[in-house]
Amino acid sequence: MMHDFTIQRYARIPVELNKEGVREVAIITDTGVEPEVAEALAAAAYELGLEPTITMMVRRPVHGLEPTQVVGLGILGAELMLFATSTGFAHTDAVRTALKRGCKYIGMPEISVATLSSGAATADYAEVGRITKAVSDLLTAGSEVHITSELGTNITFSIAGRSCFELSGVFRPGTIACFPDGEAAMAPVEGTAIGAVVVDSSLHQIGILHDPVIWRFERGRVIAVEGGEAARCLQAILTAQGDSNSWNLGEFAVGTNPAARHGTTVSEDKKRLGSIHLALGDNLTLGGQNKSLTHLDGVLSAPNLWVDGKLVIEQGRLAL
């Protein structure tokens, strides 16, 4: 009973944060997620006076792939869509179409009973919002990013003219939200990234990393992937499921959730306060220009970040 109470308590949060102007709630889940998660979200919506509908599909093999047509059409009938799924759908045409219709999107990729009951889900979301806004304001005002790490990351790219998105659990028109949440995210200027990124913490499709994966960039595009089995697995996945634009730098984001932990899922790992993640692939939802079939995040555990020469993160510690 205590377990049921805990999941129900935290399942209410994403609904409560986004219930204004909402009647119909579409809860999308898949065969890779415990059914208790969708049931808890539906119960939370019902208790808050909303009308929930659960739809389940077969899990998608890669983050960023389109959902089924049934899901794509179904979410158009809702004011709030909760994607409690194994993979992320923020960077899909189906979600972008629903967003244009005025539907609120809350992504919950890799969600489980465990991650909905502890860690990042239990944060003070007013504090997450405060930190996220401070970082987002700084990044929106910035032009040049430089990231390094003791493991060998050394990359620069432009963010000039790009807006940073506050992802702190609350949906805002023109953007998206997630749960658990906590990141300041943006689309780097296409074609500007040059250098090396050592992804050492976690990586979509792989999970928590035991050996780092190295991406080498020229003109905004990965020209070489180095490392062991995880690197070979990434190459095989994108060769089979991706397209030419799957290798372009699509996203840069800073984690802003003090309660997020390493060692659970990529989705929680990338929310850790002071972490950085970079994504390959689609970034249209973030205001970028790179359309792709896929969107894969790689998380750096203890990076250094300079924005226009100002130190913002030092070895994974936010310096704001």
Tens digits of residue pLDDT in 54-70: 999 999 999 999 999 99
Distance between CA atoms of residues 233 and 39, nearest Å = 34
Predicted confidence (pLDDT) at residue 1 exceeds the cutoff of 70: no
57 with 195, same domain: the answer is no
pLDDT in tens, 256-285: 999 999 999 999 999 999 999 999 999 999
Res 14 pLDDT > 70: yes
- Looking at residue 41, its pLDDT comes to 98
**Cβ(192)–Cβ(220) below 8 Å:** yes
Element (H, E) at 195: strand 194-199
Rounded to the nearest 5°, which phi and psi values hold at 75? -70, -20
Q: Tokens for 100, please give them.
A: 């244009």
Parent domain of 107 = 2-117
Q: Where are the alpha helices (DSSP H) in the chain?
A: 2-18, 35-47, 69-74, 93-100, 125-140, 229-241, 266-269
DSSP 244: G
Q: How confident is the model at residue 133 (pLDDT cuts 50, 70, 90)?
A: very high
All residues at 6 or more sequence positions from 252 whose CB lies less than 8 Å from its CB, including other chains: 145, 157, 159, 185, 186, 187, 188, 276, 278
End-to-end CA distance of the chain: 41
What average pLDDT does this structure show over 105-111? 97
How many domains does the structure of the chain reveal? 2
Are 201 and 248 found together in one domain?
yes
In this prediction, residues 179-185 reach a mean pLDDT of 97
**239 and 155 share one domain:** yes
Same domain, 85 and 143: no
At position 169, the amino acid (one-letter code) is: G
Last residue of a domain, one of 101, 117, 133: 117
Q: Is the pLDDT of residue 121 over 70?
A: yes
Q: Which residues pair with 198 in a beta bridge?
A: 214
- Chain-centre distance for alpha carbon 217: 22
Smallest CA-to-CA distance from 292 within 235, 255, 249, 229 is with 249
Do 167 and 285 lie in one domain? The reply is: yes
Sheet holding 154-158, edge to edge: 221-227, 213-218, 194-199, 154-158, 144-148, 304-307, 310-314, 317-318
Look up residue 215 and give its DSSP letter: E
What distance in Å separates the CA atoms of residue 122 and residue 180, rounded to the nearest whole number? 8
Do 28 and 146 belong to one domain?
Answer: no
**Residue finishing a domain among 117, 146, 174:** 117
Q: What are phi and psi of 51, to 5 degrees?
A: -110, 100
131 and 84 in a common domain: no
Question: Is the same domain home to 281 and 198?
Answer: yes
Query: Residues with Cβ < 8 Å from 194, sequence gap 6 or more?
Result: 155, 156, 157, 217, 218, 219, 220
Structure-token pair, residue 218: 């020229």
Q: How far apart are CA 6 and CA 123, in angstroms?
A: 14
82: domain CATH number?
A: 3.40.50.2300
Q: What is the pLDDT of residue 5?
A: 76
- The crossing angle, in degrees rounded to 10, of helices 2-18 and 35-47 is 60
Last residue within a domain, chosen from 117, 134, 158? 117
My answer on whether 127 and 239 are in the same domain is yes
CB 231 within 8 A of CB 199: no
In this predicted structure, the answer to whether residue 10 has a pLDDT above a threshold of 50 is yes
Do 264 and 220 share a domain, yes or no? Answer: yes
Same domain, 174 and 58: no
Q: Are residues 223 and 90 in the same domain?
A: no
